[in-house]
Chains A and B, each alone.
Chain A
Amino acid sequence: MSELFFQQIVNWITLGSIYALIAVGFSLLFGVLNIIHFSHGDVSLLAPFFGLAVISALGSVLGDAGTITTFLLALVVSIAVTGAVGVLLDLVVIQRFRKAPAMMALVATVALGIVLRELIRHLFPNGSNPHAFPRLVDGDIAIAGYSVPLFSLTVVAVSALSVCALFFMLNNTRLGLHIKAVSQDRDAARLMAIHPGRIFRATFFVASAIGAVGGLFFSSYAGMARFDFSIDVGLIGFSAAVVGGLGSMPGAIIGSLLIAGLDTLVQATVPNGASYRLVFVFLLVIGVLVFRPSGLLGRTLVEKV
């Protein structure tokens, strides 16, 4: 196995893990709410901007912006705040579309994504320009004769941990069971004294916070935070969830790895592939949807009269 090939594999897994963190949120929200929260990608990519804001605010208060403590604090705060933004969006906008046709919620959340992006552009200082974003972990480690960036290892480890924690939460905790109950039958859950609104907000928090981790990793991977990253990343995350089958968590992960694989392959083999990558990714999406309309692992819906 050549060094270059190995590097591509590392890239693939890294990118796939980042996409999975965002795709899982799409799938989770769809499973519970039964609507597409199209602005989930935009919410996730708010996190790097919150992170930068916290770092600069702490820097002006404490005087030192470079320490590990401020950095970790900034990460934690930005993840929590992004989760809160998800809840806020539900409270202000999305909850009004619970009973509306699915298409209305879809259009509304597309618009919501645009609004979030524009708000970053106008409200963040110098928001139209890219902002340098630090690499979370530096250095390489040697594994079986190949050097692997510690950053990639961190991304994969944290993503795997987050997804495992999410699975554990969904399957083994009270909140997780409530979420599952609401997603299966909202009215029956209400009869079991579960407050669906509260569960929706909890789901929004969890999904947005996990997305925030993905957003932070993505900005760190790219080395910068840009207000318009969320268009591509949001679309890719959503595509990954759709390819895997909306509502299915393992599907979202498989979809992410598939799309990241194609992405890496195109960039490595096709000349000038970086500018064509979305063409290939979306052709894959369209292809999968034509042959398996509810995704690879999605449940086929049979409508009864």
Chain B
Amino acid sequence: MAHASSSSTSGNPVSGMLTVIAVQAAGALYLRQFLLIDDWRFVLGLLVLFAAVLVFLERVPSVETRIEAAFARHSRLALLMGIALVLGFPFVLEGNTYALHLCVISMLYAVLALALNFQLGSANIPNFATGASYGIGAYASALLALNFGVSFWLALPAAAVVATVFGFLLGIPSMRTRDSYLALVTIAFGVVVHQLLNNLEFTGGPNGLVGIPVPELFGHAFSDPLVILGHTLPPQANFYYLSALLVFISIVFAERLHDSRVGLAWNALRADELAARCQGINVTWYKVLAFAVDAFLAGFAGTIYAFYVGFISPDNFTFLVSVTIMTMVIAGGMDNILGVIVGAFLLTMLPEKLRAFSDYRILFFGITVILFLMIRPQGLFPQRLRRYGD
């Protein structure tokens, strides 16, 4: 892959830069159209377009390598352009609050999917408890805010720490169990958390917690419309930027981890646990670490969700939520950061866009997982080879 990049783009840096700009702009435009279109027939049309592009890229690998090479070469431009697009995106949504809301939820799910990706994608640990960690984060921060008046900005790290502690606890049985047994432990953990939230007095039982205060930053309440350069954005924009920041941090986090010894150790675990152990990798520690990292990120997402919606109940954090997150990782592409994010956006927005079939969304998730595992187990965006030397 490395020599392909040098040969195809060494001559024309301008075309490389144009490629980067064109691909990113096309992506943003596609997302905007997808969000603003109402008729489900157009939504299906856009989906077909997406599939066609993917198939085209698969059939003509030279285009894919060109694009990849351009991004690798102009990574700084790609980053700046990406930030600009994300910052400017709310302005082109014509003040559509629902579209903005979908973006916020999609980004939170993207964080959750990235969190699960450390385990399912990198280390191949089946974790059915990401939804529970998400719930623990949400409840921890909401309880802190409601009972002790802790501000959002303090509750955010505190909830992440609480979720991480539970993640460690969940990781402990993983020291001795594997595969199906471990999957059962995580499912059991999710069910236990859900039942406790549903029955304990201080978590509000099935009614959940109501009236979670709105975060404030420098005197600006997040429930107020956001005014930027004379342009007024709906209140959801506050959370849009907040969750975009979280997604950005998660991506950096994920990439750094992927490139570090930890990421390598997880990949070694996935390839062969016994061989990894023989190479001197502390298998137990890295497994527990994967659980902790997953819970840490999920705790952040949970906190933002709780303060965004202002109301949480145990039913927001069921086993089905964990399965949904897993669907995103599998459909998007395990161990591929871009793929996981695309999977999260697609599977959050699609059921909302195809409202006519909203009753069938769970069925749709189930069938999606099975079909992907049967037909395309590597997901929409297959995992990349590790690149060294550039």
Residues of chain A touching chain B, judged by Cβ–Cβ distance below 8 Å, are: 30, 35-36, 93, 96-97, 100-104, 106-108, 110-112, 114-115, 118-119, 122, 231, 235, 238-239, 242, 246, 272, 275-276, 278-279, 282-283, 285-286, 289-290, 293-294, 303, 305
Contact = CB atoms under 8 A, between A and B. Distances in A.
A179 to B, nearest CB: 20
Given A102-B179, A278-B192, A111 B323 contact: yes
B330 A238 contact: no
Given A235-B191, A285-B184, A293-B176, A107 B330 contact: yes
A235 B278 CA distance: 35
A279 to B, nearest CB: 5
Nearest to B172: A290
Contacts of A294: 181
A248 to B, nearest CB: 14
A35 B319 CA distance: 21
Nearest to A231: B319
Contacts of A282: 188-189, 191-192
A112 B370 contact: yes
Contacts of A114: 320, 323, 362-363, 365-366
B363 A111 contact: no
Contacts of B327: 111
Given A108-B373, A122-B363, 6 more contacts: A102-B179, A111-B373, A112-B366, A114-B363, A115-B363, A282-B192
Q: Which 10 A-B pairs have the closest CB atoms?
A: A282-B188, A111-B369, A118-B363, A114-B366, A115-B366, A36-B180, A293-B176, A111-B366, A108-B373, A102-B179
16 contacts: A103-B183, A106-B179, A107-B369, A108-B370, A110-B369, A111-B366, A122-B359, A231-B319, A235-B191, A242-B180, A278-B195, A282-B188, A285-B188, A286-B189, A290-B173, A305-B275
Nearest to A102: B179
B370 A93 contact: yes
A272 B369 CA distance: 37
A73 B156 CA distance: 60
B199 interface: yes
B374 interface: yes
A166 B292 CA distance: 44
B189 A104 contact: no
Contacts of A108: 369-370, 373-374
Contacts of A279: 191-192, 195-196
- Give the size range of B's interface with the partner: 35 or more
B49 interface: no
Residue among B126, B188, B373, B374 with the highest chain A CB neighbour number at 10 A: B188
Given A122-B363, A283-B192, A286-B188, A276 B199 contact: yes
A101 B374 contact: no
B370 A119 contact: no
Interface string B357-368: 001101101110
A294 B192 CA distance: 21
A45 B343 CA distance: 32
A55 B330 CA distance: 41
Contact of B274 (A115, A283, A290, A303): A303
Scoring B124, B172, B191, B278 by chain A CB atoms within 10 A of each residue's CB, the highest score goes to B191
A119 B183 contact: no
A104 B375 CA distance: 12
A81 to B, nearest CB: 21
Nearest to A93: B370
A101 B366 CA distance: 19
A79 to B, nearest CB: 25
**Majority secondary structure of chain A interface residues (helix, strand, loop or mixed):** helix
A272 B327 CA distance: 35
B177, B178, B327, B370, most chain A CB atoms within 10 A: B370
Contacts of A103: 124, 126, 179, 183
A286 B373 contact: no
B24 interface: no
B117 to A, nearest CB: 14
Contact of B177 (A30, A36, A293): A293
B187 interface: yes
B173 A289 contact: yes
Nearest to B199: A275
Interface in B316-342: 319-320, 323, 326-327, 330
Given A111-B370, A246-B180, A285-B184, A122 B360 contact: yes
A19 to B, nearest CB: 15
B185 interface: yes
Nearest to A238: B184
A118 B377 CA distance: 23
A104 B377 contact: yes
Nearest to B128: A110
A293 B181 contact: yes
A108 B363 CA distance: 13
A242 B373 contact: no
B9 interface: no
A119 B124 CA distance: 30
A278 B374 contact: no
B198 interface: yes
Interface string B110-144: 00000000000000101010000000000000000
Given A272-B199, A278-B195, A289-B185, A101 B172 contact: no
Given A114-B366, A246-B180, A285-B188, A93 B374 contact: yes
Contacts of B192: 278-279, 282-283
A281 to B, nearest CB: 8
